[in-house]
Amino acid sequence: MKVDAKKYAKFEYEDGHGNDGDTKDNPFQRGDVVIKTIGTDENRTPEIGVVLQVHDQSELRTDMFGNEDVSYLRMATSIEIVKYRPRLALDMDVGVVVLK
């Protein structure tokens, strides 16, 4: 899933300013919607973030949890986005009907 990263950024970020500056091997790109999967348990809600900046092949910045190593992230599903960050789902065409 992807959104317009500029809509969620408070600054204009530039890619490639990490330790090695090489972003081509990073599995994520600006605008990707990711979920933080490490440290989640039954008492903690997983975090959904929008990729704002790709530093290098292993680190990026999101709007919700700042700089993060990509090994702790994966692409969020439409169901996870609706469940954990429903306002973000409004910017996406996820094809989900919300029942009251």
What are the tens digits of pLDDT across the range 57-71?
A: 889 999 999 899 999
Please tell me the distance from the alpha carbon of residue 1 to that of residue 10, in angstroms, as a whole number.
21
CATH says 5-89 is which class?
Answer: mainly beta
Higher pLDDT, 40 or 41: 41
More confident residue, 90 or 61: 61
User: Residue type at 49?
Assistant: G
Q: Give bridge partners of residue 61 from the DSSP assignment.
A: 53, 67
Q: Which two tokens stand for residue 61?
A: 């910045």
Which range in 19-23, 45-49, 60-64 is most confidently predicted, on average pLDDT? 60-64
**Domain ranges (residues) in the chain:** 5-89
